[in-house]
Each structure stands twice: as C-alpha cells, then as structure tokens.
Structure 1
C-alpha cells in the first residue's frame, strides 16, 4: 500500500495511485497532465519518509478529468432588531483529478 500526503491549494491531501480527488480549481484543460511537487510524506509498504518540509525527489503525476462545482453552501446574515436579512449561496469551483503514479526523480 503506497500513499503520499501532498500540499495542494492550501490543503493537505492523502493520495493513492488509481484514485480520483477533488481539489480547488486548476487552470488546466480536461485531459491535461499535472504534477504536484510538494510531497510532505511518503508511505511505501510501511517505510515512511518525512520531508523537511518537502521530499524534493518525488512528484505525483495526475490527469485532469473534469471541472465541476462543489456542494452548495448557504450564507445567512442577520442583524437583530434592525430587520436586515441577507441570504446568499456559494458553490466552489473544483477540479477532479485522477492520480496516475508517484514518480521518484533522481
């Protein structure tokens, strides 16, 4: 079981090859290959490597599958005794990626 923890779009994400993940919108077309180079941890069959802060010889190769919108979030603001109410909604733009492989560059 091999997995990595990467830092992407301000979050830490645990990624395994062959699975897909939703990250914040990336300016790439569906079908493009993207590489993540901020690898914080690598677990390869129980052997754990920690970065300080990153593992520089590693990269994660992923394919952009599609762009989508996330779950709707309702924002409601109200000021008591002022009869002021504002209701807004927001859907975050996301990019779905498929992790293809973890590359060790020398």
Structure 2
C-alpha cells in the first residue's frame, strides 16, 4: 500500500496522494488575491492517514497532521445549463452556471512533524 490521506476541503472529502493533482471547489480560508499559481498551501483538516500498513484515524481530525501542496492554476468546471419551461403559460427561463475550481498538487503528507 502507498501513503495517502483523506482531507476535508470545499465541503467534500478527498483521498490525496503525494505527487498527484486534484481539482477542488475553493479554499474558503484564502482570499482571491492569494490564489495565485505556485502559492504554497497547508491543509490541516486531515481525517485519516494511511502509511503502508499503519492507519491513523482522527476524531474528527488528526492533530499534528498537515498536507502540504501548491496551487497550479485556477480553472472552471464545464458549464451547467438550467432550462425551465412551462408550456401552457408561455414562460421560459434559461440559466447557466460555472463552478470555480482550483487545481493543486500535493507535495507531501506530514504527521507529527515527519514527512511520510
């Protein structure tokens, strides 16, 4: 087994591994001016860390556990079209929506000050 962690970010839980990139909705604690490419980020909301055969489980989060990463770029999810029509009333309503995303890469997973 490899090393991975489960984090809580953007209202969802993600399984992250070092060296891979992920798309998340937003980082609520960061302002839009700070979200530039190559910005280092630290995620403290770590729910679980698995290192080979060792499993560390938090209640609800692990203390002294950090996932370190950096922002690659900002992007958008595909456009969602919402179309409402009432045929007998002659009303039509078309809305579109694009979710802001942040692509970040996980550099390392740390537990108790040691990189795993």
Bin for the TM-score computed over the shorter chain: over 0.9
2-side partners of 1:80 and 1:5: how far apart?
A: 47
Q: Give TM-score scaled by structure 2 length.
A: 0.85
Contact 1:25/1:67, CA 8 A, preserved across alignment: no
Give RMSD over aligned pairs. Answer: 1.3
User: Which range moved further: 14-23 or 41-50?
Assistant: 41-50
- Counterpart in 2 of 1:77? 84
- Residue segments in structure 2 that go unaligned for 5+ positions in a row: none
Report the 3-state secondary structure (helix = DSSP H, G, I; strand = E; otherwise coil) of the residue aligned with 2:47. strand
User: Which range moved further: 57-66 or 43-52?
Assistant: 43-52
2-side partners of 1:84 and 1:56: how far apart?
A: 54
1:15-63 alpha-carbon deviations (Å, 9 max, x no partner): 0000000111343211110010000111111221111000011000010
Aligned length in residues: 106
**Structure that is richer in strand per residue:** 1
- Counterpart in 2 of 1:10? 11
- Identify which of 83, 100, 107 aligns with 1:100: 107
Deviant stretches of 4+, over 6 Å: none
Q: Give TM-score scaled by structure 1 length.
A: 0.92
1-side partners of 2:88 and 2:11: how far apart?
A: 39
- Residue segments in structure 1 that go unaligned for 5+ positions in a row: none
